[in-house]
A and B are shown apart, each in its own frame.
Chain A
Amino acid sequence: AQTVTQSQPEMSVQEAETVTLSCTYDTSESNYYLFWYKQPPSRQMILVIRQEAYKQQNATENRFSVNFQKAAKSFSLKISDSQLGDTAMYFCAFMKHTGTASKLTFGTGTRLQVTL
């Protein structure tokens, strides 16, 4: 079974600064997918970024980028130029590549507060 660990329950960053959220996972699979989801106070789950494990290049989406270290089983999220709208709960999630189901295994989340 896969496990996903987010060791930072809460973090705070000032507006316009950069913050990195940590995520580690444990799996025996060689091919898989990793995701970061954002959950603002509205409760809606929003996909931030997606990484395919067989791709060496780190995924980037505008101000959001990841540092994917496959050997270390680490998948951190960097948010550049933080904005007040980035205040949310962030969840790291794992999905196996093979099989017939798109099951996600989530970490426990990191609550990010962006301050003025």
Chain B
Amino acid sequence: NAGVTQTPKFQVLKTGQSMTLQCAQDMNHEYMSWYRQDPGMGLRLIHYSVGAGITDQGEVPNGYNVSRSTTEDFPLRLLSAAPSQTSVYFCASSPFSGGGNEQFFGPGTRLTVL
């Protein structure tokens, strides 16, 4: 199993550009989520999904869209990038929602918005 994969690993955008961060998992996990990591702030939840077709907002959802059409994939879309979205983005998955399950993290994407 590849686990949780994220592409790209690094990305530089100009203000106003759009892009999609890709996340895929091959463990048939029900729950998937996106976090951003900023210096001195830990990881903060952006959006999450408890199954295909079901998504919800986390702590910092503004400026980001998600969809979940399959169990495997959970892309994160930036519609109009802003310098405040410069961060490291992590995708995570777990077998099912609740129950204190371990979340498995992808390797992260470092995004810089100029």
A contact residues vs B (CB 8 Å cutoff): 4, 9, 33, 35, 42-45, 47, 50, 52, 91, 95, 97-109
Contact = CB atoms under 8 A, between A and B. Distances in A.
Interface residues of B, number: 27
B56 A104 contact: no
A94 to B, nearest CB: 10
Contacts, number: 66
Given A43-B88, A102-B94, A95 B100 contact: yes
Given A50-B100, A95-B100, A101-B56, A43 B107 contact: yes
Contacts of B90: 45
26 contacts: A44-B107, A44-B108, A45-B43, A45-B105, A50-B100, A52-B100, A97-B100, A99-B98, A100-B98, A101-B50, A101-B56, A102-B33, A102-B48, A102-B99, A102-B101, A102-B103, A103-B33, A103-B45, A103-B58, A104-B45, A106-B42, A106-B43, A106-B44, A107-B42, A108-B41, A108-B42
Interface of B: 31, 33, 35, 40-45, 48, 50, 56, 58, 88, 90, 92, 94, 97-103, 105, 107-108
B98 A97 contact: yes
Contact of A102 (B31, B43, B108): B31
B42 A102 contact: no
Given A44-B107, A97-B100, A104 B43 contact: yes
B3 to A, nearest CB: 10
Contacts of A104: 35, 43, 45, 103
The 3 A-B pairs at the shortest CB distance, nearest first, are namely A33-B100, A45-B105, A106-B42
Contact of A100 (B45, B50, B58): B50
B52 to A, nearest CB: 14
Contacts of B108: 43-44
